[in-house]
Structure 1
Amino acid sequence: MKKCEVCGKEYIKNDNEFLKHFPEFIRKNLEYIPACECLEESKQREMEELERKRVQECIKNKVKKYKDISVIDKRFLNSRFENADMNNDNMQLAKRYAESFLRKDKQVGLLFYGGVGTGKTFSTACIANYLMEKGKTVLVMNLGLYLNKLTTGWGEAERDILEQVEKCDLLIIDDFGAEKGLDNNQTGWRAEKIYNLIDGRYRSEKPLIISTNLNFSEDEEKCEITEKFSTQGQNRIRDRIIDMCFPIQVTGKSKRGLTKKDLIEFIS
């Protein structure tokens, strides 16, 4: 007797009266049918997986044309939890955040702040790669590149980017506050564009992760984000960020630069 390959239950006799209207070879193939729903459930899962991949590919193709504002390069893609020092408190937090992201409907955002080379971008990249491997859509933006593009008359593309910002599962803004190439006359314009970007994410009620070298403080007067982005006495950008992101200070000695160990491994 044929059995289900999933649960092992034996097939049962098919007593459907409608079978008599089929040719004999079809009746013979349908004489016994599964007693379980494993086959239907398997097909449903396959359809759901195909749809998930289709949606993911559509978003990926839309974002691909904006690669000039992305920081997803080879170094970024090689940043993974399995390559990290998981004895580090910040890496443990990042891993737990990524795992919780998959389990919980309502996610919170993170603000990684601290000195240069302390591992902020590495932490966010590990989170991004982990989630992308699990089928989540992650848009990773370099704010400086984004703003520079907008200065070249990128109006239509801006609307498309803001649409993707609202749709993706996770938005990451890397190196927030390190933008260059804009003169003093563009300060208000820059603040407005950044606010529109973050506010769009805020209104979509989806999580945001930011990494920045700027110092964060609950005291607005001591907060570099306030100092850099306030306009006309208003701190709209900082207010949006603290509404969405929990601040995490990343401390320690800079990990950037080649070491003697790197050279020895290379020449040995």
Structure 2
Amino acid sequence: MPLTNNQYNSIMQQYEALHIRHRRERENRLQRIYDTIPEYKKLEEQTASASVEFGKRIISGESLDKGLLASKLNDLAAQKEKLLKDAGYASDFLEIGYVCKDCKDTGYIGNEKCHCFKQKIIETLYDKSNLRAMTKECNFENMTDSYYKGEDLTRFKGAKKAAEEFIASFNIDYQNLFFFGTVGTGKSFMSICIADELLKKGNSVIYFSSIGLFELISEYAFDFKNKAWLRTVYDDLYECDLLVVDDLGTEIMGSFVAKELFSLLEERGNRKKSTIITTNYSLEGLQSIYSDRIFSRITGNYKLLRLTGPDIRKEKKLAKKGKKSE
């Protein structure tokens, strides 16, 4: 499913908007320095003139040691850094705060698309659930154990610890997670928290509800005009660093879904690409719905994490109603 020209241009416009913002922010910070430390501007002018003068002398035929210019520029840079420090500014005050430090918000590293560009493509093509928006609410900062008690609390703490270990070792140790348990106990929330942290680390993440995933696959599988696009869809599903399949069991089950699910789990396993699955079904319920091959893949290759307790979504709604009635 390649990007259209409009989609590509839209992504590039996002990077251009970042460049404009960065430039304005740095100009504003630099003007602030000029206003409070006049000597800093003089050193900036000396830096520019030193480079220009050195270039002119090279062009005129003089044989000069480039180390002399480097030494001069280093000395001026040290003087500027001291001025900033003496005035109470951080040494990196004038540095640009890139969203992606790897490509410096260009979208490319050399001639290759940066991981941040690839994630933007994923979000453009597949993120019908709007994962980025979901992570604003579902993140570890907003996570709380206040809804859990007793054995439920123990399970929650165990699942959180497993999630944190999964994130910490993600790029060095292949793992899969399977969250199961009763409705509304935080399984989807936990999976989105993990996705959020891995996105911050520059990993590519595709998030799908189970229904949305198989609707997408079937949309292209039965449209013979789009076989090339289907291959691209599979490539993305197989190759993304993390695939999250939420609410497994809500899709309409049949031989097609069973076959595609098994192929997906098998291929991602062969490629050592991590997957997170959530479901409201118990292990017994899951086994009764899916084939033994699928059940075996999940129970054998995934860390099984059970969450139980009250329906947190209902608890939150009741709390909101209570506040409104006060």
After superposition, where does 1:203-218 map in structure 2 within 5 Å?
A: 203-216=270-283
User: Helix, strand or coil: the match of 1:82?
Assistant: coil
How many residue pairs match? The answer is 223
Q: Does 145-154 or 194-203 show the bigger shift?
A: 145-154
> What residue is the counterpart of 1:49 in the other structure?
102
1:96 aligns with 2:96: no
Are the structure 2 counterparts of residues 196 and 260 from structure 1 closer, same or farther at C-alpha, using a change threshold of 3 Å? closer
> TM (normalized to structure 1)?
0.70
Paired residue for 2:239, among 156, 167, 171? 167
Greater fraction helix:
2
The separation in 1 between residues aligned to 2:200 and 2:265, in whole angstroms, is 25
Describe the superposition over 1:109-137 as per-residue Cα deviations: whole angstroms up to 9, x where unpaired: 11100011011000101111011112111
Describe the superposition over 1:149-193 as per-residue Cα deviations: whole angstroms up to 9, x where unpaired: 33333544432222112222211111111113x6xxxx1112111
Q: Give the residue type in structure 2 aligned to 1:146.
A: L
The separation in 1 between residues aligned to 2:126 and 2:250, in whole angstroms, is 20
Unaligned runs of 5+ in 1: 1-18, 35-45, 217-222
Q: Does 83-92 or 108-117 show the bigger shift?
A: 83-92
> What residue is the counterpart of 1:262 in the other structure?
320
The separation in 2 between residues aligned to 1:266 and 1:176, in whole angstroms, is 35
Shift of 1:265: 4.2
1:109 aligns with 2:176: yes
CA-atom RMSD, angstroms?
3.4
Paired residue for 1:229, among 277, 284, 290? 290
> What residue is the counterpart of 1:79 in the other structure?
138
Q: Give the residue type in structure 2 aligned to 1:127.
A: I
Q: Give the residue type in structure 2 aligned to 1:65.
A: L
Are the structure 2 counterparts of residues 260 and 171 from structure 1 closer, same or farther at C-alpha, using a change threshold of 3 Å? closer
Are the structure 2 counterparts of residues 156 and 229 from structure 1 closer, same or farther at C-alpha, using a change threshold of 3 Å? farther
The separation in 1 between residues aligned to 2:117 and 2:208, in whole angstroms, is 19
The separation in 1 between residues aligned to 2:244 and 2:178, in whole angstroms, is 10
Q: Give the residue type in structure 2 aligned to 1:226.
A: Q
Unaligned runs of 5+ in 2: 1-57, 75-97, 104-108, 147-155
The separation in 1 between residues aligned to 2:196 and 2:255, in whole angstroms, is 34
Shift of 1:48: 7.8
Are the structure 2 counterparts of residues 204 and 266 from structure 1 closer, same or farther at C-alpha, using a change threshold of 3 Å? farther
> What residue is the counterpart of 2:197 in the other structure?
130
The separation in 2 between residues aligned to 1:248 and 1:29, in whole angstroms, is 61
- Determine which structure has more spread, i.e. the larger CA radius of gyration: 2
Q: Does 154-163 or 120-129 show the bigger shift?
A: 154-163
Q: Give the residue type in structure 1 aligned to 2:306.
A: Q
Are the structure 2 counterparts of residues 108 and 208 from structure 1 closer, same or farther at C-alpha, using a change threshold of 3 Å? same
Describe the superposition over 1:22-58 as per-residue Cα deviations: whole angstroms up to 9, x where unpaired: 5559674145697xxxxxxxxxxx9981239823312
> TM (normalized to structure 2)?
0.59
> What residue is the counterpart of 1:119 in the other structure?
186
1:61 aligns with 2:121: yes
Contact residue 86 and residue 92 of structure 1 kept, 8 A: no
> What residue is the counterpart of 2:257 in the other structure?
190
Describe the superposition over 1:65-102 as per-residue Cα deviations: whole angstroms up to 9, x where unpaired: 1234x462634542000001157414532542344235
> What residue is the counterpart of 1:238 in the other structure?
295
Paired residue for 2:217, among 145, 150, 158? 150
